Amino acid sequence: MAPAYTEWSGGVIVLHKLCHILNQLGENTYLHPMVEEYPLSWKNHFIKIKAKIKLKYKSKKYKTNKMFQTPVINKLTKDDLENSIIVYPEIVSGNPLKAKNVVRWFLHHPGYQTGNVNYFSRELYFSYGAFGRDFKLYDSHTSDTVLHVFHQMNDIYNEIGASEERKGTAYCIRKGQGRKIIHDLSDSILIDEKKHEEVAKIFKRVKYFISYDLYTGYSLFAIMCGCIPIVVPDENLSLTEWQSDPKMRLGIAYGFEQIEEATKNRKAALDLVFEKK
């Protein structure tokens, strides 16, 4: 289950990409538009009917990436619900599709986006990087396998036409909304809500990309363009608490004092990026 495709959400992109990869591997995989779970009541009974009508309408306008093999399904049979595996992102509350076999993919820490965690027993959890690695629920299981999908977009993010002499910075806020701006804005470009092509052009001419979002795929895109990404640290998170997997830290400076280390590890970071399918 996934929201409609948008190029501005890394979580949405990788949900669609996972469906594509599974189909490329020979599995029979579909995208299902997002639906909500409602507690039992007469009022919610009518809300659910309205939601089903809305889903039917929404499915016709449901956007996918035309480059991906991602067929869409909006109605599941009893056999589907009994014998298929439903993958929910961590933001989904409960089991709105009433599936027997539920997998949750933690694209962020459970509850971070919604402030609510409503999961059930007998579910299987996969982490994206370190997200949710320590989450435990009675009679559910967190896989030791880290499910890390990345859509490179290397036709856009690359060093073709990059400036030999870089100057200035780019920065993003995104999920870091409300954090204190600590860098000089006089020669800095905000990339939030810009199209990928425009962001790539910026990354190819600036020296540093400063992120107030602790976890964003734009850090990797910056590396691909020869720009050094710097994540502004959370004072409550040490380096290993921010990102426990050393591979996930390659090429990224967690604070300005880590710039030299990030520069040294850039090639290793690129090698890792292009290992991902």
pLDDT score at 275: 75
pLDDT score at 36: 77
Cα(258)–Cα(231) distance, integer angstroms: 10
3-state class (DSSP) for residue 214 = coil
Strand partners, 231: 211, 254
Delimit the domains of the chain by residue range. 10-146, 169-273
Eight-state DSSP code of residue 207 = S
Residues 75-122 have pLDDT tens digits of 899 999 999 999 999 999 999 999 999 999 999 999 988 888 999 999
Residue 46 confidence (pLDDT) above 80: no
Residues 185-225 have pLDDT tens digits of 999 999 999 999 999 999 999 999 999 999 999 999 999 99
Q: Using an 8 Å Cβ cutoff, are 245 and 130 in contact?
A: yes
Say which residue the tokens 């780019």 belong to.
170
Burial of 41 (0-12, 13-18, 19+ CB in 10 A): exposed
